[in-house]
């Protein structure tokens, strides 16, 4: 079926927010006596905060989880200073090309809406999107497909009419579970788990590229 909607992840896909997120996580977790190694942070990248924090504090620590999650995101937003974020190479070309083709574009991010709005504002790309969808209040985040199914509903498109652009293993798996084609971009391009996912889920298709700038005409990913 023809692709009608482009569903964008935000962090690591449109902008490289990794360093800011890790800094925010480390500052927050240190307040709770937890030293968060970078490897642990990367392993959980793309999941929602409640699930990550439940593994550190225990699922019964609901109040602590909510407080720590709010602190982490407030810290992250405080780090978005002028010039701190730029669009990743190729992202603007893709946004412009899809708009010229009449594609509906939606952001689906695991982060809270305040973060999504702050990053989109900092990047100056708000007018490209029909809407922004946050997965922070979903019972389960990526790799569950719920957030992308909500994005599809907002776009008025069936799952097989959507293309997801993602930079995390959890996000690509969520797209596959939703029955959506996907583009795996960035650091996961060489991730061994990605190849396993693709082999186990040959349809819908997943296109892999280290950078959006590596594909001159984004229209090729639509066919």
Distance separating alpha carbons of residues 122 and 82, to the nearest angstrom: 8
Question: Alpha helix locations (H) across the chain?
Answer: 18-31, 38-43, 49-57, 62-78, 91-100, 113-123, 146-155, 169-178, 192-200
User: Does residue 59 register a pLDDT over 80?
Assistant: no
pTM reported for the whole predicted model: 0.88
Q: Look at residues 223, 185, 168 and name the one whose alpha carbon lies nearest to residue 48.
A: 168
**Structural domain boundaries enclosing 68:** 18-78
Cα–Cα distance, 14 to 1 (Å, whole number): 26
**How would residue 50 be classed by pLDDT, with cut points 50, 70 and 90?**
confident
- pLDDT for 134 beyond 80: yes
Are 205 and 95 members of one domain? yes
Answer yes or no: do 59 and 91 share one domain.
no
- Same structural domain, 167 and 143: yes
What is the number of structural domains in the chain? 2
Same domain for 10 and 24, yes or no, is: no
Which is nearest to 76 in space by CA: 106, 109, 32, 116?
116
Whichever domain contains 10, its CATH number is 3.40.50.1000
Looking at residues 14-35, what average pLDDT do you find?
A: 94
CA terminus-to-terminus distance, the chain: 9
Domain match, 95 and 144 both: yes
Average pLDDT over residues 106-115: 94
- Neighbour tally for 100: CB within 10 Å: 10
pLDDT, tens digit, for every residue of 162-218? 999 999 999 999 999 999 999 999 989 998 899 999 999 999 999 999 999 999 999
Q: What is the pLDDT of residue 1?
A: 67
Express each pLDDT in 138-163 by its tens digit.
Answer: 988 899 999 999 999 999 999 999 99
Q: What is the pLDDT of residue 45?
A: 76
pLDDT for residue 100: 98
């Amino acid at each position: 079926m023809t692709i009608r909607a482009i569903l964008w992840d935000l962090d690591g896909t449109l902008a490289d927010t990794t360093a800011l997120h890790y800094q925010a996580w480390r500052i927050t977790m240190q307040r709770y006596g937890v030293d968060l190694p970078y490897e642990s942070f990367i392993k959980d990248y793309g999941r929602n905060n409640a699930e990550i924090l439940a593994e550190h504090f225990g699922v019964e620590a609901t109040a602590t989880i909510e407080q720590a999650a709010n602190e982490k995101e407030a810290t992250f937003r405080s780090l978005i200073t002028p010039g701190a974020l730029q669009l990743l190479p190729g992202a603007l070309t893709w946004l412009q090309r899809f708009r010229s083709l009449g594609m509906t574009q939606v952001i689906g991010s695991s982060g809270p809406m305040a973060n999504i709005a702050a990053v989109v504002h900092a990047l100056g790309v708000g007018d490209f999107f029909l809407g922004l969808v946050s997965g922070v209040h979903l019972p389960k985040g990526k790799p569950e497909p719920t957030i992308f199914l909500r994005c599809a509903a907002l776009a008025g498109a069936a799952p097989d009419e959507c293309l997801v652009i993602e930079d995390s293993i959890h996000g690509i798996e969520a797209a596959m579970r939703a029955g959506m084609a996907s583009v795996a971009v960035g650091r996961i391009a060489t991730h061994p788990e990605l190849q396993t996912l693709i082999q186990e889920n040959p349809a819908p298709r997943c296109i892999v590229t280290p950078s959006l700038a590596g594909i001159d005409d984004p229209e090729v990913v639509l066919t």
